[in-house]
Amino acid sequence: MPNAYISGTGFYVPPRVVTNDDLANVYGIDTTHEWIVQRTGIEERRFSEAGVATSDLGLYASEEAIARAGIQKSDLDMIIFATLSPDMSFPGCGVFLQQKLGLCDLPDSKFVPALDIRNQCSGFLYGLGTAASMVQTGNAKHVLLVGAETHSAAIDLTTRGRAVSSLFGDGAGAVVVSATEENRGIRKWKLGADGRHANDLAQQVWDIKKRPFLPMSPEGVGQVYPEQMWPHMDGKQVFRHAVERMISVLMQTCVESGLTGADIDLFVFHQANLRINQYIQNHLGIPDEKMVSNIQRYGNTTAATIPILLAEAERSGKLKPGMKVAMVAFGAGFTWGCAIAEW
């Protein structure tokens, strides 16, 4: 059975920088730079311009990952796209990315399958487990896994929504998961979910139980009220469960892999809130040199945070071949996951 390893990484963030001061001065949100940094560690984030789709962000990241993997687009056997902010309700972003990559127009096109994953901040790790399994069973040789988000179009950029809107930014990360006979790759992954807290972090933009699923005006125009249209979050619940679940799944995955924290060379935590990650780091006694972080510059890019971090760490030399990497995430659902890879 072949091993599955990450053969290439790529990332893309929009050029437009939105600082905490911009949220106050440009958007009129009653907040301050100090208030946001104290609670989240975020200093700025990136916003896409109107007309840019989530699959567009994914395209840039994918092309870089494919090039760095040293393969051709026609070598891909599958696309997995993780996002909570798809281009539209359906179809998913995977088929749009397939088309934008030109895979439908190649002379030797295989019309590879495109799978969309909706596990929010844990989406990349759910996708990584899926991609690794596809490769290890021999059903695919190269799987393109993308995490991408366009949050800026769907957050309440007013004082009413400041507790959530200050957290999120746009961006995309991608990896190619490939088969190898070398003794390296994704060693262990573990996932979990607790649907009892599904409404503690949610965007209930429609209610499919109702007929019609959106309230309608007498003229037949759909109307979405603020409590449905914008994301909402029970911040205390999310913080507490994120800390508990991330620590638990990381420790379980290490134990099942026969590893201790000292064996891990680099910890790549989902970038939801710097204070959450610092709490976990301090609780587990992880030294600073084994941590990577970019939430200060990008905010929470949900499914994209871990692949962006991997790409940046590889470019900077922080992530080197042979290193053991632990990736951990927690998100809406609640969902969580951990994966350990030998780079």
Q: Calculate the average pLDDT of the chain.
A: 96
- CA–CA distance, 216 with 234 (Å, rounded to integer): 29
Task: With a cut of 80, say whether residue 37 has pLDDT above it.
Answer: yes
**Given 142, 241, 270, 277, the catalytic residue:** 270
Q: What are the pLDDT digits (tens) for 168-185?
A: 999 999 999 999 999 999
User: Please, which residues have CB within 8 angstroms of residue 21's CB and are 6 or more apart in sequence?
Assistant: 33
> Is residue 121 among the annotated active site residues?
yes
pLDDT computed for residue 83 by the predictor:
98
Indicate which residue of 93, 121, 254, 338 is catalytic.
121
pLDDT of residue 243: 96
The pLDDT tens digits for 204-253 are 888 899 888 888 888 999 888 888 888 989 989 999 999 999 999 999 99
Asked whether this chain's domains 3-182 and 186-198+231-342 adopt the same fold, the reply is yes
Q: Known catalytic residue: 300? A: yes
For residue 243, what are the contacts with CB-CB under 8 A and spacing of at least 6?
276, 279, 280, 283
User: Please, what's the b/e burial string for 314-342 (b: 16 or more CB within 10 A of its CB; e: otherwise)?
Assistant: beeebbeeeebbbbbbbbbbbbbbbbbbb
Phi, psi of 322 (to 5 degrees): 95, -15
Q: Which tens digit of pLDDT belongs to each residue from 279-305?
A: 999 999 999 999 999 999 999 999 999
* pLDDT number for residue 229: 86
DSSP-derived secondary structure letter, 114: E
SS (H, E, C) 35-62: HHHHHHCCCEEECCCCCCCHHHHHHHHH
pLDDT of amino acid 296 = 98
Best CATH choice for the domain 3-182 from the list 3.30.365.10, 1.10.150.120, 3.40.50.970, 3.40.47.10:
3.40.47.10
> Domain 186-198+231-342 is in which class?
alpha beta
Domain ranges of the chain: 3-182, 186-198+231-342
Give per-residue pLDDT as tens, 303-339: 999 999 999 999 999 999 999 999 999 999 999 999 9
Mean pLDDT of 56-60: 98
CA angle, residues 181, 187, 193, in degrees to nearest 5: 140
